[in-house]
């Protein structure tokens, strides 16, 4: 494989609101794409770039994931994340994780250190503690959104999952998604983001990370559907991505996704007002936009 097929895409959620300024997020996303590009050019593995990029998105506090997550109706920050490795179809995820700074690192540890795919709640936290992952000592000080009636309005927060997909020089594809979920969620609610086949997917043909109305993405199995459309129906990346997203729309949801295929195509469709996104295309060009 040659460098010309290195591709990388990330999103900062399908929640941008018309009339708001996203210069800070756009500059941040572009910087992460440039850093990821340099790592891929230096031979880094797709999974390493995906996890590092998402860890930066989580730590920034600019998106509704990681440090920027919003709490549930009990005021608790329950975070979800998932990763998937295309060549092996190994996957790892955490759901309703409380008390740890980087859900995406916990998800990767589930994939690499356990025979399981998904750990939830107290079990996920106990596992993360054993893995020595960074803890949040003081949630009130760490999270940038107070949320609920004490914090910002739902219309300010909207939603803002983060995700990344990458293709490395060996041709391996990888995907990851991390989220604080939707504003005003019930305790214990888990959306599509950590679920392989719904909000995250990677196989030998495609890597996908979704954002938007999680319940509809779950019901449409969006991420796996794209892979299956390509595998069984012979659709190309853009056609499969648009068709899967149209099912979300037909179910009454909105959102978007980032996807890359094995031969250098990048698709970033959305049916919401906008989607914070950035990509490195196979020709080396960088695309970065919110609407």
Distance CA 91, CA 39 (A): 22
Distance CA 92, CA 117 (A): 5
Which residues, listed in sequence order, are joined to residue 178 by a DSSP beta bridge? 81, 162
70 scored as a contact of ligand ASP (CB under 6 A): no
3-state secondary structure at position 246 = helix
Kindly list the distances between the CA atom of residue 105 and the CA atoms of 13, 157, 186, 206, in Å, as whole numbers in the listed order.
19, 24, 24, 22
Using CB atoms, what's the residue nearest to ligand ASP?
A: 214
Comparison of 179 and 241: residue with beta carbon closer to ligand ASP: 179
Comparison of 193 and 225: residue with beta carbon closer to ligand ASP: 193
In 3-state terms the chain splits into helix, strand, coil percentages (rounded to 5) of 35, 25, 40
State the Rg of the chain over Cα: 17
From 193, 209, 225, 241, residue interacting with ligand ASP (rule: CB under 6 A):
193
Give the distance, in angstroms, between the CA of residue 205 and the centroid of all CA atoms in the same chain: 18
CB of 17 to ligand ASP, least distance (A): 13
CB of 37 to ligand ASP, least distance (A): 25
Distance CA 6, CA 280 (A): 8
Comparison of 40 and 195: residue with beta carbon closer to ligand ASP: 195
Q: Which pair of structure tokens corresponds to residue 281?
A: 């295309």
Q: Which of residues 196-225 bind ligand ASP (CB under 6 A)?
A: 199, 211-212, 214
272 scored as a contact of ligand ASP (CB under 6 A): no
Provide the terminal-to-terminal Cα distance of the chain, rounded to the nearest Å. 33
Site string for ligand ASP, 141-180 (x = CB under 6 A): ------------------xxx-----------------x-
261 scored as a contact of ligand ASP (CB under 6 A): no
CB of 274 to ligand ASP, least distance (A): 12
CB of 212 to ligand ASP, least distance (A): 5
103 scored as a contact of ligand ASP (CB under 6 A): no
Phi, psi of 279 (to 5 degrees): -150, 150
Comparison of 55 and 210: residue with beta carbon closer to ligand ASP: 210
Comparison of 43 and 252: residue with beta carbon closer to ligand ASP: 252
Active-site residue, selected from the candidate residues 159, 161, 179, 211: 161
SS3 of 154-194: HHHHCCCCEEEEEECCCCCEEEEEEECCCCCCCCCCCCCCC
Comparison of 87 and 184: residue with beta carbon closer to ligand ASP: 184
Whether 159 is catalytic is: no
CB of 34 to ligand ASP, least distance (A): 24
Interface with ligand ASP (CB under 6 A): 13-15, 159-161, 179, 181-182, 191-193, 199, 211-212, 214
Residues noted as catalytic: 161
């Amino acid at each position: 494989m040659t460098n010309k097929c290195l591709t990388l895409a990330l999103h900062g959620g399908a929640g941008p609101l018309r009339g708001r300024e996203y210069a800070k997020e756009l500059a941040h996303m572009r910087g992460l794409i440039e850093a990821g590009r340099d790592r891929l050019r230096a031979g880094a593995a797709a999974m390493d770039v995906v996890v590092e990029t998402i860890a930066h998105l989580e730590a920034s506090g600019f998106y509704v994931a990681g440090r920027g997550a919003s709490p549930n109706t009990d005021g608790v920050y329950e975070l979800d994340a998932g990763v998937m490795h295309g060549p092996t179809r190994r996957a790892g995820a955490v759901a309703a994780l409380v008390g740890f700074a980087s859900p995406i690192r916990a998800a990767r540890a589930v994939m690499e250190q356990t025979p399981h795919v998904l750990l939830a709640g107290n079990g996920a936290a106990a596992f993360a503690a054993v893995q020595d992952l960074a803890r949040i000592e003081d949630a009130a000080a760490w999270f940038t959104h107070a949320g609920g009636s004490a914090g910002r309005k739902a219309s300010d927060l909207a939603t803002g999952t983060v995700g990344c997909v990458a293709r490395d020089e060996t041709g391996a594809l990888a995907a990851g998604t991390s989220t604080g979920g939707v504003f005003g969620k019930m305790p214990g609610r888990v959306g599509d983001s950590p679920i392989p086949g719904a909000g995250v997917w990677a196989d030998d043909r495609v890597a996908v990370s979704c954002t938007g109305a999680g319940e509809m993405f779950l019901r449409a199995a969006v991420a796996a559907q794209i892979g299956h459309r390509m595998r069984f129906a012979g659709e190309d990346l853009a056609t499969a991505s648009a068709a899967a997203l149209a099912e979300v729309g037909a179910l009454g949801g909105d959102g978007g996704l980032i996807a890359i295929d094995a031969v250098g195509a990048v698709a970033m469709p959305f049916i919401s007002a906008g989607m914070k996104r950035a990509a490195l295309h196979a020709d080396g060009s960088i695309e970065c936009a919110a609407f």
